[in-house]
Amino acid sequence: MSHDLNVGRVLLVGAGPGPVDLMTMRAVRAVEGAQALLYDALTSEDAIALAPPGCIRIQTGKRSGRASMKQETINRLMLRLARRGLRVVRLKGGDPSVFGRVGEESEFLKGHGVPIEVVPGVTAACAAAAQFHFPLTHRGQARRVVFTTARLEAGALAGDWSAAADPETTMAIYMGGEVVAELGRRMIAAGRCPTTPALAVEQAGGADARLYRGTLETLPARLAEAGRGPVLIIIGEVAARADPQRWIDEVSVQAAGLRA
């Protein structure tokens, strides 16, 4: 462990779902004070632009299903910059503690004597719920929320999906767009009703967000219309409460305000 008194510090910061106005004040201040900024591929240009002149900017390219900088390389890079005495900001989409590898990075840095700070951010499921006006929990319909990811291993969905059988559980599946058909089959096999409401949100939280509504059975066909943005899937009775028209109306009002 290093005991260098000149070592800098690393802030593991949540950038939220994309729009800079959904970043917390603490996150904005962290980026504004950064001397080195390591940011993920999905980080918005507006968020990156908050960094001051002279700040070292490095894109780490962390994006599901695409080539990116190896985690070990990112760890070593943060360590090297911190040992130069710099204030390093590791800017992550959403919240660092939700599929953001914050545990791995913080353990590595602390193990090398680098002080860290974690700044939370709005995660995609919360952003989608607010944007399209549905709750993640609701009395009599959803008493718990499960945040999970979905990936295929040898053609089968990996992981334990027993929680999916509970009709009062809202499932928030990150990075599940490419496996939505297998996901539906697996959840139905676990005991979830095929007509359970389901939705997918592409670019959750952003101005270009799109909502696809259906059921466990029908959502895969609807999602075939989706573009290439990150997709969040919500499964549970609360999904039926989503209101895409209210989001369209809000965007129209905002656009009119900008033109005025």
- The per-residue pLDDT for range 140-156, each reduced to its tens digit, is 999 999 999 887 776 67
Residue 156's nearest CA partner among 177, 198, 185 is 185
pTM to 2 decimal places = 0.86
Predicted confidence at residue 186, as pLDDT, reads: 87
Phi, psi of 33 (to 5 degrees): -100, 10
- Which of 4, 40, 208, 249 is the catalytic position? 40
Strand partners, 56: 36
Whether pLDDT at 248 is above 60: no
Q: Contact 108/79 with Cβ under 8 angstroms?
A: yes
- pLDDT tens for 10-58 read 999 999 999 999 999 999 999 999 999 999 988 999 999 999 999 999 9
- Which of 62, 92, 95, 110 is the catalytic position? 62
Give the Å distances, CA to CA, from 204 to 108, 141, 229. Answer: 31, 23, 9
92 catalytic per annotation: no
DSSP 177: G
Instruction: Tell me the residue type at 9.
Output: R
160 catalytic per annotation: no
- Domains of the chain: residue spans and CATH: 9-119 (3.40.1010.10), 124-246 (3.30.950.10)
Other residues' Cβ atoms within 10 Å of the Cβ of residue 103: 10
